Amino acid sequence: MPQTLSSKDQANFRSLVRLYEAKQYKKAIKTADQILKKNANHGETEAMKALTINSQGNQEEAFALGKVALQHDMKSHITWHVYGILWRSVKNYDEAIRAYKMALRIEPESAQILRDLALLQVQMRDYQGHIQSRKLMLQAKPTLRQNWTGLAVAHHIAGELKAAESMLETYEGTLKQQPSRADSEHSEAALYRNMIIEEEGDNERALEHLNSIKKTNLDRTAVLEVEARLLLKLGRLEEAEKAYRGLVDRNNEYRAYFEGLEKSMGLDRAKESDIPKLVELYESYASKSERLDAARRIPLDFLEGERFEKAADAYLQRMLRKGVPSTFTNIKGLYADESKRKIIIKLVEGYLSIAPEKSESESNGDKPDRLRESTLFYLNQHYNYHITRDLDKALKYVEEVIKLAPKNIVYIQAKARVLKHLGNVTKAAEIMEFARASDEKDRYINTKAAKYQLRNNDNDRAVKTMSKFTRNEAVGGALGDLHDMQCMWFLTEDGEAYVRRGKLGLALKRFKSIYDIFETWYEDQFDFHFFSIRKGAVRAYMDLLRWEDHIRDHPFFSRAAINAINIYCQLYDDPSLAGPQVNGSIDFDKLDANEKKKALKKAKKEQEKQEKVEAERRESERKAMLKSQKAQKKDPDAEVKQADADPNGKKLLETKTPLDDATPYVNFLLEFAPKNIESQFAGFDVFVRKAKILLALKCIQAAHQINPDHPGLHERLTRFRKTLDASESSNPKVAQVIKSCISIIPASSGLSEANESYLTKHKSSPQHIYSALRTRAFLDPSSKAQNEKELLTSLDHASLEDAIDGLALLKRWGSKEDVKSKYVDAAMKKWSEATVLSGGANASAGAER
Amino acid sequence: MASEPQPSTVHEGADNEDAPVPTNAEDRKTAAAMSNLEGRGDEDDSRNGKHVDAEALGKAMQSLSVESGADKAAEKKVKVEAVDVSLLVEQLELSKIKATELLKAHEGDAVKAMTAFVMAAV
């Protein structure tokens, strides 16, 4: 029922709204209570109170009251609007949209509700709904340019280019006079319109339009770039060449301009006859200034043989004599070509025999043997690089260069890198730490040191190192700040270190943080739906929307997701992983059942004790923080960030539904990184455990498309066959689908034999051997001893990375300590430096204090 | 969370855009306004906007209703069995809407639809 208030209370209600908007929540609640005293069950007041409570951070109470308010007055747009806002604040946009629509039905004139609805719709990518809402907004206020632009954008993202353009055109047509030149909104809108025309594919008209706005437009660079591009697309090469030359004059290090210039001159790198012309082109630019890099570097991409050697020699000498540290980084792109690789290393090794030039050094006051120094460093990087790796040489060169410049952090860091590649993570971390200590103000080296500590599984020290540059008074200390700052590389490496240490809860926690960060990035666009349109920055806004639609194709996301999915699958296979872990220094397998129980009990007690200590520590931290906040007289209404209730990821780990928890990761992974075979494998691993046969089949056949020889495929094909044979109750239609897709799946009979012949066929490829051994263990659990033996012999062909995987495999199988140490010993004979195999710091899982 | 206890009328309205006929006049007006919106877009020629008088925003607004083209009448009517929809939802973990779309794209043939789904190129 609509409820009316006395005039005095109406005034009170208005002041309640004002107080809320001014964020004076305490006063607002007081006022609301005052009204409610006299008018119990007044829905709109209750709604406003709920909104205020929500802003204070108490969502549950707010929701409860919001619903009561709705029951008391469901004919009020305020109660519905508030209800929508509450849903929005918990990010349930579907429910929020429904509530807003109800509110609008009651109060169709409300611009505020309509706006909120439109913003939600674009966030949800409800294109048609968004168009409708934007249309209504425009009808309400057609004089406002942003409403026209808003509708144009709505059409544009819905793919309706013509409609979008005509919106902009119509508005321009209503202008009485040309807007002033300084009107940036108009300038943006003009370029935006041009962008739409170009997207329509009508280059001719786009150019025409561009010429009409060229003179007055404020974004000069954009205009010139679009002009050059359109001319090129239209085949008006002469004009295009002129345009690109103009662009190169504006920025002569930007590769894209040179690319355009080549095309507009009709030059083709693949054509032998064009090469001299290309050389001439770049020489003409290179001769303009000694400092230009692009014009000197680009020709190395297309030159071959002798001409390449000459050009590379000039380029390398120029860079190395100057002592440019990034020379190798600039050059390594050429390493994909083997012949170029060989020429380069021959040249650089030759520079070692060039005697230092005395005269030059005296005049500049430089070190006399700078060429030698940078040559040695280049050689170190060359032999450290994965394609041309020879770690003994790399180590030799870096030690020589350190002798020349013992204090140079760059060289010390390079040495740490070599050691890391040798597998000596412990010493690598030490050296990096030494480099860090020699320049504590250098954030780069600090970050590197932390990363190397993580590679050495030393999570605690890594956080300590990071804390030298974080805001440590943040909730959760340094680690909390790293979360706030969305420091993804750290969270990923931290999580992977925890995986290696067998601390799956903490690992899951970190990967979940990465997941959440991407979620936040997606949420973050919300503010721009309003802001960008109001400011008229439409082109950037369109870029943002398009970028948001595929943010999760970022490698950081895949990496975290695959890690998380692996853990969830392990948890599903062995739920005891979620329980207390027995101290790794005891050989658990040797104990009999009774002793095992005791050990587990002891471990549990220890864990509880540890948790208690930690909880106390957190409590005291929290108190200290509150104290300091009070001391600073902080605004009590300010947002208070809650401390994490599950800092060790215990709850994540104790999940009853690991596969369901993995599902969101799988869905994003398959949607955004389907071409990564690891994504398909991760998807398969979850679906096959969930007995979702068709989905598992889809993943495995996608993986087969990507790379039919990938070692991960064999074991999964076998597993699929087994799962298929075990599930009988399949629907006939499903069975029919499987039948038509089955060509890649092995036959039911002779799986073991097929596996053995796979093993023989790939007997020199460790990864394929692992796949076959896993398959054998899966088909016949009693084969463990044999598998362990064959794993050991596979070391002959293995690389260090393979050996690390092999060791992980032993851990998965739950092999006994003596088997593992035998494997490690054998591997250490091959890679004497590889402490990574013995586990770095915190060697035995769970063995730290 | 949508299943939270709510007055039944409220829930229905919130759930479904085209709710049953509203009871009071105000709501009817709103509903009418909304359905009007959906009615536009039968004439499809965005160029009409060009003839708009430069000063007359009003006219521009009128032409607005002409702008939005893309009528959806072209959608083919394909009969889709409910059993098949739930089969796809169950097997392929699709939403009901997506499952229906997939079936429609394959003439309502569940086997064809699922095969195409599984064998899709990467």
Of B13, B22, B117, the CB nearest to A698: B117
Q: How many CA atoms lie within 13 A of B101 on its CB side?
A: 6
Provide the pLDDT confidence category of residue A633 given band limits of 50, 70 and 90: very low
C-alpha–C-alpha distance, residues A435 and A409, integer Å: 6
* A173 in B contact zone (CB under 8 Å): yes
* Chain B residue nearest residue A143, CA to CA: B57
C-alpha–C-alpha distance, residues A233 and A264, integer Å: 9
Q: How many CA atoms lie within 13 A of A758 on its CB side?
A: 27
Q: Is the pLDDT score of A396 beyond 60?
A: yes
Of A131, A132, A674, the CB nearest to B122: A674
Q: Angle CA(A748)–CA(A751)–CA(A756) in degrees, nearest 5?
A: 165
C-alpha–C-alpha distance, residues B49 and A68, integer Å: 49
* A67 in B contact zone (CB under 8 Å): yes
Distances, alpha carbon A229 to alpha carbons A181, A251, A278, A466, in Å: 25, 16, 20, 46
Q: Is the pLDDT score of B21 beyond 60?
A: no
CB pairs under 8 A between A and B: 134
Burial of B80 (0-12, 13-18, 19+ CB in 10 A): buried
Secondary structure (3-state) at A148: helix
Q: What residues does each domain of chain B span?
A: 82-121
Output DSSP code: residue A268.
-
Amino acid identity for residue A767 in this structure: Q
Within a 10 A sphere around the Cβ of A379, how many other Cβ atoms?
Answer: 23
Mean pLDDT, chain A, rounded, equals 88
Among residues A747, A743, A740, which one has the least CA distance to residue A721? A747
Q: Is the pLDDT score of A117 beyond 90?
A: yes
Q: Is the pLDDT score of A507 beyond 80?
A: yes
Q: How many CA atoms lie within 13 A of A465 on its CB side?
A: 29
Mean pLDDT, chain B, rounded, equals 61
CA dihedral sign of residues A616, A622, A628, A633: negative
Distances, alpha carbon A116 to alpha carbons A92, A108, A335, in Å: 14, 13, 54
Distances, alpha carbon A174 to alpha carbons A196, A538, B85, in Å: 20, 20, 50
Provide the pLDDT confidence category of residue A844 given band limits of 50, 70 and 90: very low
Q: Give φ, ψ of A222 to 5 degrees.
A: -60, -45
Output DSSP code: residue A642.
P
Within a 10 A sphere around the Cβ of A359, how many other Cβ atoms?
Answer: 7
Q: Is the pLDDT score of B121 beyond 70?
A: yes
Helix spans in A632-710 (H): 650-653, 658-672, 677-689, 693-706
Q: Is the pLDDT score of B34 beyond 80?
A: no
Strands (E), A59-183: none
CB < 8 Å to A155, chain B = 68
The pLDDT > 70 percentage for chain A reads 90
The pLDDT > 90 percentage for chain A reads 66
In the block, tokens 């607002």 appear at: A28
Q: Is the pLDDT score of A578 beyond 70?
A: yes
* B21 in A contact zone (CB under 8 Å): no
* Chain B residue nearest residue A174, CA to CA: B54
* B121 in A contact zone (CB under 8 Å): yes
Within a 10 A sphere around the Cβ of B6, how many other Cβ atoms?
Answer: 16
C-alpha–C-alpha distance, residues A733 and A740, integer Å: 11
Q: Is the pLDDT score of B72 beyond 50?
A: no
Q: In sequence order, what are the residues at sequence separation of 6 or more whose Cβ sits closer than 8 angstroms to the Cβ of residue A318?
A: A296
Average pLDDT of the residues in A404-411: 92
* Chain B residue nearest residue A742, CA to CA: B119
Among residues A191, A205, A117, which one has the least CA distance to residue A152? A191
* Chain B residue nearest residue A706, CA to CA: B122
Read out DSSP for A523-566?
Answer: HHTHHHHHHHHHHT-HHHHHHHHHHHTTGGGSHHHHHHHHHHHH
Q: Is the pLDDT score of A776 beyond 50?
A: yes
Q: What pLDDT shows up at residue A734?
A: 87
Q: Is the pLDDT score of A90 beyond 80?
A: yes
Helix pair angle (A784-793, A817-830), 10° resolution: 10
Helix spans in A324-476 (H): 327-331, 338-351, 358-364, 370-384, 391-404, 409-422, 425-438, 443-455, 459-466
Provide the pLDDT confidence category of residue A476 given band limits of 50, 70 and 90: confident
Contact B110 A733 (CB under 8 A): yes
Q: In sequence order, what are the residues at sequence separation of 6 or more whose Cβ sits closer than 8 angstroms to the Cβ of residue A195?
A: A226, A539, A542
Range from A17-31, A556-570, A600-614 that averages highest in pLDDT: A556-570
Average pLDDT of the residues in B24-34: 50
In this structure, what token pair is assigned to residue A411? 């060289």
Provide the pLDDT confidence category of residue A251 given band limits of 50, 70 and 90: very high
Q: Are A509 and A652 in contact (CB under 8 A)?
A: yes
Amino acid identity for residue A798 in this structure: A
- Its pTM stands at 0.83
**Total residue length of chain B:** 122
Our CA-based measurement puts residue A738 at a distance from the nearest CA of chain B, in whole angstroms, of: 8
Q: In sequence order, what are the residues at sequence separation of 6 or more whose Cβ sits closer than 8 angstroms to the Cβ of residue A573?
A: A689
Which of B 47-76 lie inside 8 A of A, CB atoms? 47, 49-50, 52, 54-57, 60-61, 63-64, 67-70
Q: In sequence order, what are the residues at sequence separation of 6 or more whose Cβ sits closer than 8 angstroms to the Cβ of residue A225?
A: A247
Q: Angle CA(B97)–CA(B103)–CA(B105) in degrees, nearest 5?
A: 105
